[in-house]
Structure 1
Amino acid sequence: MKITTGNQVVRFKRSSIALAMGGALLSGFSLQASAADATSAEKVERIEVTGSRIKRADIEGASPVTSIGRLAIESSGVQNIGELLQTVAQADLSGLTQLTNNTNGNDGSQTISLRNLGDNRTLVLVDGRRFLALGGGQVDISQIPIAIVERVDILADGASAVYGTDAIAGVVNIITKDGFEGVSLDASIGANFEGDGEYKQAGLSIGTIKGDTSLFLNISKSEEKEIGAGDREISKYPVAYVPQRFGSAFGLYGIFGTSDGLVSLDPTKEGSGDRTADDFEPFGTKHRYNFAPTNYLKTPSDRFNVFAKVNHEFDDSLSAFIDFTYNQRKSVTQIAAVPLTAGFSGPQWEIPYSKDNIYNPFGEDLTSFGFRTLPIGPRTSIQDYDTYFITGGLEGDFEIADRILLWDISMSRGDSSRSVKGENYVNLQNLRNAVGPSFMADGVAQCGTAENTIAGCVPLNLFNGETGFTDEMANYIGYELNDQVNTGATNFAANISGEIFELPAGWVGFAAGIEKRTNTFSDSPDALIAAGLSSSNFREPTNGKQTAEEAYFEFAVPVLSDLPGIQQLDISLAGRVSDFENSGFVGVDPVTSKFDNESFKLGFTWRIYDDLMLRGNYSDTFRAPSVNNLFAGGGEGFPSTQDPCNTTQFSLQSADTQSRCLADNVPNGGSIQPTGQLRSLNGGNPTLEPEEGNTKTFGFVYNPSWLDGFDMTVDYYRIELQEALSSISAAGMLNRCYVQGEDEFCGFIERREDGRIATVRTSQFNLAQLQVEGYDFNANYRFDTHEMGSFAFRLNGSYTDKYRSAGSEESINDADNQVAAIDSDILRWRGTFNTTWTYDDLSVTWGMRYTSDITESCSIPDSFVDDGLATRELCNQRDHTSEDNPNGLNRIGSVIYHDLSASYTLPWQASVRLGMRNVFQKEPPIALNPFANSFYSVHDIPGGTWFLNYKQDF
C-alpha cells in the first residue's frame, strides 16, 4: 500500500502498526516533507495511533497515551495481561478483583477498570478493533495470550466520538506481534516463594513472509495452580488474625431455633449415639464456623490459545488480512461448603425440621435450623470456556483529485460458550424430604410415614455434629448443578482516511467510517436453580440482543506554524452518531427498546518550540447499557422490607399514597404481609438509556534539547458522568412508586389477586452522578555511558484528587466529598518506577510499585477485638463518622513493592530471564472489607514470586 506525505509517495504496510513506538525519529517528523527530502521520506510510515483514526507520522497527539512495550512486558515477569495491567497507574481495584484474591465465586476472568469507573466504562481493543465482550460489555483480557502481545497502549481520555460506546474512562489497545519471521520457542516456570501457586507456560511462534503473503502463528499453553486462603496467615480467618469471632453462625455444631431460643450442640458431646435436648447449649462464639481457609486466594486455571494472522498484498493498492483467535480455558473456584439456613433466609428455605424426624431430640417442629454441610464438600465451580474470534477484511488506497486516500473494510465474528459445573450444592426438595417425618423399618431409617414412604430418601441427622452426617445423607441432598452462558458478537466496519488539502500550516487529515455491531447474550441456569429448588441463588433464564449502527468523522487541522511562540498549532475534531436497537426478555415477557446518541470531541496540540508541546481535549462520552444491563435474568433475594400498602403501614400513609395503593388492587385498609421480608428479583431494565458525560484533559509534553534521552508528560483530567446507572433496592422501588408517586417505577412491582406483593423487581436506573478529577505523569530518561553500558529510567504515576458520587445533580454539586471520605476502594496515589541497566548481552531491571493508603468504611462496630493472644485494633479512625459510615473509618497503609529481573542473550540465538516479584516479600496491609481475604486485590498475595523464562529462536 502507499500513501502521500506532501507531494511524496511513501510505502505503507499493515505491519507498521507494530512499529508505532519503535523509533524516536517518528515523533519529530514534519507534516510537510518536500521533494528534496525524498531519502528521509522513504523512512517515514504513517500509523494509526491509539486515540485517533487518522494515520499520521507524528505520535505525539492531543490525547495522553501510555505505552508498555515488549521489553517492559518481558522484564516484569507477569504471567498474563491482567497482571500486567494491574501495574498501570491509571488502573484501579475494581476491574482486577477477579484476577487473584477475590474468592467469592469469581470465574477466573480478568477485566480492566480505569479511573475507578468500572470495567464496563473502559473500552478494550485488540489491534485497534473491538474484541468479543462479556454480557456486561467488558472484555475478558485473559483470552489474549501474553506471548503474542507487542505492546499495550493505555489511552487515559474519553474517546466515545472516536471509538463509540464504553470509552468513558479510557481505552486499552492491545497491539499484537506482526512482521515476525522465523520460529521461536518460549517456556516459563514460576511459583510463589512459599512453594505454591506454580505457573507453567510454553509457546511456539512461527512467522514467514513468502512473496506478498505473510503469516504469523502462535500456539501456547499455560497452567496456573491455586493458592489457598488457609495457606496464608492473613487470610486464615474472615477477619485477619481473629479466629472464631467473625465466623459463620452456620457451623458443624448446628444452630437450632427451639422454644428455649437458639441452641447448638455442646462440642464435647459430638459423636455417635442418640441425642437429647440436654446435649445442647445456648449458641455462642465457640460454635461459629471459620469459612475462610477453604477459599482460594488465586484461582487455578488452564489455558490453551491459538492465534493466527495472515496478510496478503495483491498489489501496491490492495491487501487482505485475516486474524483468528481461539481460547480454551478451564478455571476452578472454591468456597466453603453450603450452609443450611432454614428459617433464616427466604421462603425457599422455609423448611421445618419435623418433630417426627427420628433424629430430632427436641420433640417440637424446628422452623429454623442451620448447619455447615462439610460432609458434602466445599462448593466448587468448574468453568469451561470456549471462545473464538475471527476478523477478515480488505484495505487499500485510491487516488482522487491528486490525493491518495486510505480505506479498509472488515467483518468480525466471535462466540464464547461458558459451561459451569457446580459440585456439592444442595437439592432443597430432597432436603425438605430428609428433615421431614421419618421412621425405622427393619432397622433402616425411612423418610415419610409407614403409609407414605418417600422412596430413595435418607433421613438427615444434623444433631450429632459432623459425625452424624453420613455419606448416604450427603449423597441424597447433595447434587451437581450445570449452567450454560453464551455470548456472541458480529462487527462490521468501514473506514477511509487521508490528507485532503493543504493549508499554510500543513496538510488537513481526516478519517470517516461506519460501523454495525450486534451483541447477543443468553443465560440458561441449572434446572433446580430456575425452579428455586437449589441452595444456589435462584435466577431466571434469559437472552437478549443489541444492535448498534454508527457513523463517525475526524479531522486534524493545522492552524498556525512557524510563528514566535507557535512552532505548530493543530486542532482535532471528531463526531459520532449512534443508534441502538435492543430486544430480549424480562421474565417471560419479550421487550424491545431503542435509544440514540451523538458525541463530539475537540482537541488541540500547541508546540511552543522544539522542546515543549501543550495539549488538551474536551469530549462527550457515553456508554450504552449492555445486554446484561437490559435483559439479565432476575436473581432472587429476600430483603427485610415493609410494603407501604400493608395492613400496618396503610393507615400511616398520606391520602395520595393510599389512593395509589388502592389503584393497584390493594384492599382498603391494606394487604397482608406475612413476614418482614419481601421477594425481590434483581435483573435487567429494558428502559435504560445511555450514560452521558464529558471529559476534559490538559497537559504538556516536554522533550528538553539540553538533556538527550529525557522526556516527560503531565496531564490533568476531569470526568463528569450524568445519568449513570445506579441500583434501587426493593424498599426504594416501593417508596418511589407509592409514596413519591413516580409512576415509572410501579411497573416493577407485581401483586397477587389479594393485593399481597408477589415480587418486586429491582434493577438499575439512570439516576447517579459521578465526578473524577486528577493528574497523570510520565517521565523517561535514557543515556549511554559507553564503558558501563546504558541506563533507562521510567516513571508512571497517577494522582486522584477528587472522586464524587451522588444520586442527583444537586447533591453532587453541593457535596464536598474528598476521596478518603466517601469510597473505600480508591487510591489517591499509584505509580511505578523502573530502572534498566544494559551491558552488552546482559540486561537488569529493578522495578518499584507504589500504592498509597486506602480508607475504608468500618463494617464492624467494635473498635478492638481480643483474639486470644492480644487485643487488636480493627478501625483506627472511629471519630470519622457520617450517615453512610456510622462506625467510622479504617485507614490502610501505603505499600512499596520491589521487583528484580535479569536477562542474558546467549550465543545460540537464545535468551534466558530470571526474576522475582515482591523481592522483600512485603506483606499486604490488613483490610476489613474484602470478602474472606483481609487484603485488597491491588496488593500482592503474601510471599512474593519467582520466574524463569527461556526463549529459543531458529
Structure 2
Amino acid sequence: MLGIVSRRKRLLASSILCGVMLPAVSAWAQQAPSEEPAQVEEIVVTGSRIARPDLTSSSPIAQVGAAELKQSGVVNTENLLNTLPQAVPGITSTVNNGSNGTATVNLRGLGSNRTLVLVDGKRQTPTTQSGTVDLNLIPPALIKRIDVVSGGGSAVYGSDAISGVVNFTLKNDFEGLEFSTGYSKTDNGEAPIYSADLTMGANFADRRGNVVLSLGYNKREALTQGERGGMLSTAWGDNAAKTGFVPSGSGSNEPGRVDPFVSGKFVTLPGVTNSAANSALFLTDGNVRLYSSATDTYNFAPVNYVQTPQERFSVTSLANYEIKPGLRAYAKGNFVNSQVVTQLAPTPVGSRTFRFTLDNNPFLTAAAKTSLNSLGSSTAYTIPASSSWTAGTFTDVDSDGDGLYDTVTGVFNRRLTEVGPRISKFNFYGYQMQLGLKGDIDAINGGFDVYYQYGNTHGTNTLLGDTSLARIQQALLLNATGTGCADPSNGCVPINMFGTGNISKAAAEFIKTRITAAQDYEQQYGGFNINGDSQNWFSLPAGPIGFAFGGEYRAEEFDYSPSQDLAAGNVTGFNASPPVKGRFDVYEGYAELLVPILKDLPLVKSLDLELAGRTSDYTGQPHPVKTYKVAGSWKVYDDLMLRASYNKAIRAPAIGDLYAPQSNGFPSATDPCSARGAPNAAVRQACINSGVSSSVVGLINANQQTQTLSGGNPNLRPEEAKTFTVGFTYQPSWLSGFSMTADYFDIKITDAIASFGGSASNVMNVCYGSLVNGNPNSPYCQAIRRLANGSIDYISLTAQNVASIKTSGLDVSVTYRTTLEKLGLPDWGSLAFRSLYTNTWEWTNTPDEISTPIKCADKFGTRCGNPTPRHKLRTTLNWTMNQFGVNMVWNHLDDVLDDNPASVYTVERIGAKNYIDLSGDWNVTDSLAFTAGVRNLTQEAYPILGGNASPSNSGYPATYDVLGRTFFLNARLRY
C-alpha cells in the first residue's frame, strides 16, 4: 500500500512539474523553504525585509486568511478587501459606468495608484496607464493570506506605497489535490456566480522540492437595473423644493432637441415667449414643441448593469527545489485571462454642435422649419475646433428666397436608441514569470535572495453601439432635392434625428462605428536582497543589529493603441482616448537596520529602533528621489508593546501621468450658471463677470454631466508623502487568547498629481465663488470654455503637481479566542472573535493653493466621490465544534453627508448601514467540506439618490450593497 501511495505521489509530482515548465520555464516566485526546520531568523513580516525573531511589527498590519475568503463565499478578492475599514472601494463587480474592466483596492481612499500591490513580497505587474494593478490577475484559489500594511512603505518597497501595501501570500508548499467549486445568487435568483478551482501539489526528491499547479475558472452573470426593478429601474432627480424624487435622467432624450448655437439666436415657438433658453423638442411627426426639463428627460437607468458579467481563466504554477542545503531555487508562472463587459444606455448626442439642412428637409414639417429658421444667421459665425466634425466659419443663406435658410446650426441633444446600447468588452491577458535563488549566508546569520521577474498584461477593448460624429454631420446635410446626402461618399444615408424612432435602420448602420483599442503593459523587474545580523562580529548589550540591503532595477513600458475614431474623439457615446506610449526605468538601492537599544530592564522588556532608506533614480527626473523610515517598538513588558513609525514615501508619475494626450471625460458636474444650477444673485453676477450673457444666466439647459479635457504632463515630479503612525499592542497574560492593537495614523501628501483645479465641480465653484468672482483673467474661469449660446463646451484640466491631501484617524483591532468551557459553559467547542475598527476624522483634499480645501471625512458627492464614513467596523464571530462551524460577519458603515454645502438635494444624508453575513462550515471528512451562507442577511436597503448620485447607479454601488440578500454554497474535496 505504501508503495502505491509513493508511486502516486511521484506521478503527481512529475505531471505538475510538466505543468510548471509548460506555461513558463521561467515562472518564478519567492518561497520560504517550509520543508526545512523552522528557524526564527526566517520570519519576515510584511513591511520590512529584515528577518526577525517574532511576528511583531512597528507598522499596523491587518490580515485576511484563506479561511475568511472561503467563509465569505467571494470569488473576487476585492469584494472582501473593500469591507476592511482601512479601504475605500475602488472598481468592483458592481461598478458599471466608470469601470475599465479591472478590479482594484484603494487604501485610505487615497487612490488605487497609491496602494502598492505585492505577491509574495514582490511587485505585481500593473495593467493600466495609471500604474494600478488588476486584482483579477491574482489567482484566488492559491491565496494563503492577505496582509494589509497601513502607512508608507516606499523605503522598503519603492514607489506607490503611500497609503500602504497589500501583500498576497500564495500557497507555495501545497501538497495533495484540492478541488473546490462555488455558486451564489440573490434571493430572487438573479446575478449568479459560478467558480471552480483545481490545485495539485507534491513534494519530490525526498521532500527537497515542491511543485504546485492551480487551475481556476469563474463566471459572473449580468444583471441590469431594469431587471432588478423597483426604484433602481428609474433615474431620479430632485423636485423643485428638494423634498422628494421625481423621474429625471438625461437631457439627451429619445425624441431629440435642438438649442441655438449662434449668440443671440433662439427657437421661435408658437405661443412661447422668445428666449435663448428655449429648446425645441422634436415630435415623431417632424414637428417641434418646447422642451421641458421636468418631463422630457431620458431614463437611462434600466440598461445599466448592477452586476457586470465576467469570465476568468487562470493557470498558476509554483516550484521550489533545494539544490543543496542552504541553497534553494524557486519559480512561478501565472497566466490569467479576464473578460469583463460593461453596458450603458444607448449613445447620447450630448450638446453636440451640428449644421443641418432646413429648407428642403423632408423630415421636418413646415411649422418646424419656421420655428427653427431663427437659428440661422446671415452674419458670419465660427464653430470652434472642439467641434472638429463641423468646425469652421459659416454664413447661412436663403438661396431660393422663400424666407428659410438652406442650412442652420444648432446644439443637439438626442438619445440614439435606434443604434442600441453602448457595450464595452474588456479582454485582459496577464502573464507573469519569476525566477529566483535563495540561500543562507552563515557569516551574517542570514541569507540572500536574487530574482528576476517579467510581466505583461495585454488588453483589448471593443466598444459597440457608438456612432461617428463626422458621419452624423454628413448625414444631416442633404442634397438640393432632400433625397440624399449632399456628400454621398461612403454610402451616406440621410438621417432623421427629429423624433423618437425616426432613424432608419440604414441610417443607423451608416453612422455606427466599431471602436477597438489595444494596450500592453510590460514590466521587467529584478534585484537582490541580503539580510542578516551582526552577531558573528559584535552585539550591542541588547543583542545583535539586524540588517537588510539590496538593489532593484525596474523597467516599465505602456502602449495604448486605439482605433482612429476613438483616438480622434469622433464618437458620441464614449470618451475620446488618444494613443499613449511611454516608458521609464528606475535604479534603486535600499538598506534597513534593526537596532536593539535596551533589553530585559524594568519597564523595558525590549526597545528597538528601525531605520530604512532608499534612493531611486528615475529616467526623466533630474535628481534621484530619496525615501526613508524611522520606526521603533518598545515592549514595556511581555503583555504590552508601544510602536511608532515615520515615513517619507513617494509615488513617481505613472506613464499616463507623463505622456497621456488630451482626452475628454464626462464627470457629474452642474454648471452653476444654468437653470439646473439655479444661481443666486452672487453667482449670477460672477457668471456675467466671466463673460456669460446676462440674458441666458439661469436659463441655460445643462446636463448633469459636463465635458472635460485632461491629459498628461511630462514635467511632473514625484508626489511626496509623510506618514506617521503611533500605537500599541496588548496581549494580557491573564487573559489567554486576547489581543488588542490601536494605532493613530496621519498621512500628508504634497505635490500630489491631480487635474488642474481637482475636478470640474471645483473649477466651477472657484471661478464663480467669492474668491475669483468670475474674473475672466483667472485660470479657473479661462479653463471653462463655453459655446456661443452660453452652454459649456468643455472644461480644460491638465495634470500638475498642485494638490495636497491629508488624512488621519485611528485603527483598532480586538481579537479573542477561547473555548466555551473556559467561559464556564458546557464543552461545546471554541469561539473566535475579531473586530477591526477605523475612525477617519480627517480626509481633506486641497486642489491647489487658491482652492478651498474639500473636506471629505463623513462626506459623499460630486466633489468627494465614494463615501468616506467616519466610523467603519468589521466584526467576525466564529464558533467551531468538531466538524461544524458557524460564522457571522457584521460590517458597519457610519452615516455620511453630501459634500456640497452650496447645493441642496432631497438626500443630504445617507444613513448608517449594517450588513450581516452568516455562513456555516461542515467538514464531512478530512477530504470533503461544505460552506454555505448568506450575505446581507437583513436585506439592508441600497441608498437611492437624486441629483447627487454617482453616474453608474442611483447611489454608490462599490460602497453599498446593491444586490441585496445573496446565498452561496461552496464545496471542497481534498486528499
TM range (shorter): 0.7 to 0.9
- 1:194 correspondence with 2:179: no
Number of the residue aligned with 2:552: 515
Number of the residue aligned with 1:147: 141
Number of the residue aligned with 1:606: 634
Number of the residue aligned with 1:826: 868
Pairwise CA distance, 1:142: 1.5
> Counterpart of 2:69 in 1: which secondary structure?
helix
Whole-angstrom CA distance in 2 between matches of 1:178 and 1:446: 71
1:772-808: CA deviation from partner (whole Å, max 9, x where unpaired): 1100011111112352011111111111122222245
- 1:700 correspondence with 2:728: yes
Number of the residue aligned with 1:407: 448
Number of the residue aligned with 1:368: 411
Number of the residue aligned with 1:545: 583
1:922 to 940, 944, 966: 940
2:81 to 82, 85, 88: 85
Number of the residue aligned with 1:578: 616
1:321 to 305, 330, 340: 330
- 1:100 correspondence with 2:120: no
Number of the residue aligned with 2:809: 774
Number of the residue aligned with 2:3: none
Pairwise CA distance, 1:419: 0.8
Of 301-310 and 428-437, more deviation after overlay is shown by: 428-437
Of 909-918 and 452-461, more deviation after overlay is shown by: 452-461
> Counterpart of 1:350 in 2: which secondary structure?
strand
Whole-angstrom CA distance in 1 between matches of 2:582 and 2:848: 30
Whole-angstrom CA distance in 2 between matches of 1:482 and 1:617: 47
Give the residue type in structure 2 aligned to 1:498.
G
Of 845-854 and 499-508, more deviation after overlay is shown by: 499-508
Whole-angstrom CA distance in 1 between matches of 2:642 and 2:963: 43
Distance 1:858 1:679, change over 3 A: closer
Number of the residue aligned with 1:22: none
Whole-angstrom CA distance in 2 between matches of 1:741 and 1:240: 35
Whole-angstrom CA distance in 1 between matches of 2:726 and 2:124: 30
2:431 to 366, 382, 388: 388
Q: Which residues in structure 2 correspond to 1:832-911 (within 5 Å)? A: 832-857=874-899, 874-875=906-907, 890-907=908-925, 909-911=927-929
Give the residue type in structure 2 aligned to 1:144.
I
1:496 to 515, 530, 538: 530
Give the residue type in structure 2 aligned to 1:338.
T
Tell me if the contact between 2:354 and 2:409 (Cα under 8 Å) persists in the aligned partners.
Answer: no
Pairwise CA distance, 1:356: 2.6
Distance 1:284 1:766, change over 3 A: closer
2:476 to 432, 435, 450: 435
Give the residue type in structure 1 aligned to 2:798.
S
1:631 to 654, 659, 665: 659
2:313 to 304, 311, 315: 304
Whole-angstrom CA distance in 1 between matches of 2:784 and 2:496: 40
Whole-angstrom CA distance in 1 between matches of 2:292 and 2:972: 60
Tell me if the contact between 2:731 and 2:738 (Cα under 8 Å) persists in the aligned partners.
Answer: yes
Tell me if the contact between 2:859 and 2:899 (Cα under 8 Å) persists in the aligned partners.
Answer: no
Number of the residue aligned with 2:394: none
Pairwise CA distance, 1:531: 3.1
Gaps of 5+ in 2: 1-28, 239-243, 260-266, 270-277, 374-407, 674-685, 691-705, 786-792, 822-826
Whole-angstrom CA distance in 2 between matches of 1:506 and 1:537: 61
Distance 1:741 1:518, change over 3 A: farther
Of 245-254 and 555-564, more deviation after overlay is shown by: 245-254
Whole-angstrom CA distance in 2 between matches of 1:607 and 1:284: 66
Distance 1:725 1:14, change over 3 A: closer
Whole-angstrom CA distance in 1 between matches of 2:183 and 2:580: 42
Whole-angstrom CA distance in 1 between matches of 2:182 and 2:855: 50
- Return the TM-score normalized by structure 2: 0.79
Number of the residue aligned with 2:603: 565
Gaps of 5+ in 1: 1-12, 20-39, 583-592, 643-648, 654-677, 751-757, 864-873, 876-889
Pairwise CA distance, 1:930: 1.5
Q: CA RMSD in A?
A: 3.5
Tell me if the contact between 1:330 and 1:385 (Cα under 8 Å) persists in the aligned partners.
Answer: yes
1:314-341: CA deviation from partner (whole Å, max 9, x where unpaired): 0012211111111101111000101124
Give the residue type in structure 1 aligned to 2:363.
Y
Number of the residue aligned with 1:794: 834
Whole-angstrom CA distance in 2 between matches of 1:62 and 1:219: 37
Give the residue type in structure 2 aligned to 1:795.
S
- 1:123 correspondence with 2:116: yes
Give the residue type in structure 2 aligned to 1:432.
Q
Number of the residue aligned with 2:492: 457
Tell me if the contact between 1:357 and 1:435 (Cα under 8 Å) persists in the aligned partners.
Answer: no
- 1:163 correspondence with 2:157: yes
Tell me if the contact between 1:515 and 1:550 (Cα under 8 Å) persists in the aligned partners.
Answer: yes
Tell me if the contact between 1:186 and 1:952 (Cα under 8 Å) persists in the aligned partners.
Answer: yes
Number of the residue aligned with 1:880: none
Number of the residue aligned with 1:25: none
> Counterpart of 1:196 in 2: which secondary structure?
coil
Whole-angstrom CA distance in 2 between matches of 1:183 and 1:680: 53
Whole-angstrom CA distance in 2 between matches of 1:636 and 1:770: 25
1:944 to 961, 965, 968: 965
Tell me if the contact between 1:358 and 1:438 (Cα under 8 Å) persists in the aligned partners.
Answer: no
Of 363-372 and 540-549, more deviation after overlay is shown by: 363-372
- 1:110 correspondence with 2:103: yes
Tell me if the contact between 2:580 and 2:661 (Cα under 8 Å) persists in the aligned partners.
Answer: yes
Whole-angstrom CA distance in 1 between matches of 2:943 and 2:87: 19
1:76-135: CA deviation from partner (whole Å, max 9, x where unpaired): 112211111011110013x2xx20333214123111111121111111101000010132
Whole-angstrom CA distance in 2 between matches of 1:685 and 1:550: 24
Give the residue type in structure 2 aligned to 1:711.
S
Distance 1:849 1:628, change over 3 A: same
Distance 1:760 1:916, change over 3 A: closer
Tell me if the contact between 1:581 and 1:595 (Cα under 8 Å) persists in the aligned partners.
Answer: no
Distance 1:45 1:181, change over 3 A: farther
1:713-733: CA deviation from partner (whole Å, max 9, x where unpaired): 011111111111232169979
Number of the residue aligned with 2:342: 333
Q: Which residues in structure 2 correspond to 1:656-695 (within 5 Å)? A: 681-695=709-723
Give the residue type in structure 1 aligned to 2:316.
F
Whole-angstrom CA distance in 1 between matches of 2:814 and 2:971: 31
> Counterpart of 1:292 in 2: which secondary structure?
coil
- 1:422 correspondence with 2:463: yes
> Counterpart of 2:94 in 1: which secondary structure?
coil
Whole-angstrom CA distance in 2 between matches of 1:684 and 1:369: 30
Pairwise CA distance, 1:429: 2.3
> Counterpart of 2:590 in 1: which secondary structure?
strand
Count of equivalent residues: 822
Whole-angstrom CA distance in 2 between matches of 1:197 and 1:679: 33
Pairwise CA distance, 1:810: 9.5
Tell me if the contact between 1:712 and 1:778 (Cα under 8 Å) persists in the aligned partners.
Answer: yes
Whole-angstrom CA distance in 1 between matches of 2:579 and 2:926: 57
Whole-angstrom CA distance in 2 between matches of 1:163 and 1:599: 10
Number of the residue aligned with 2:212: 216
Give the residue type in structure 2 aligned to 1:434.
A
Of 472-481 and 600-609, more deviation after overlay is shown by: 472-481
> Counterpart of 1:173 in 2: which secondary structure?
strand
Give the residue type in structure 1 aligned to 2:475.
A
Q: Could you say which structure has the higher strand fraction?
A: 1
Pairwise CA distance, 1:680: 7.3
Number of the residue aligned with 2:234: 237
Tell me if the contact between 1:226 and 1:300 (Cα under 8 Å) persists in the aligned partners.
Answer: yes
1:327-376: CA deviation from partner (whole Å, max 9, x where unpaired): 101111000101124xx23xxx4343443332132334352333211111
Pairwise CA distance, 1:237: 2.2
Number of the residue aligned with 2:15: none
Tell me if the contact between 1:81 and 1:146 (Cα under 8 Å) persists in the aligned partners.
Answer: yes
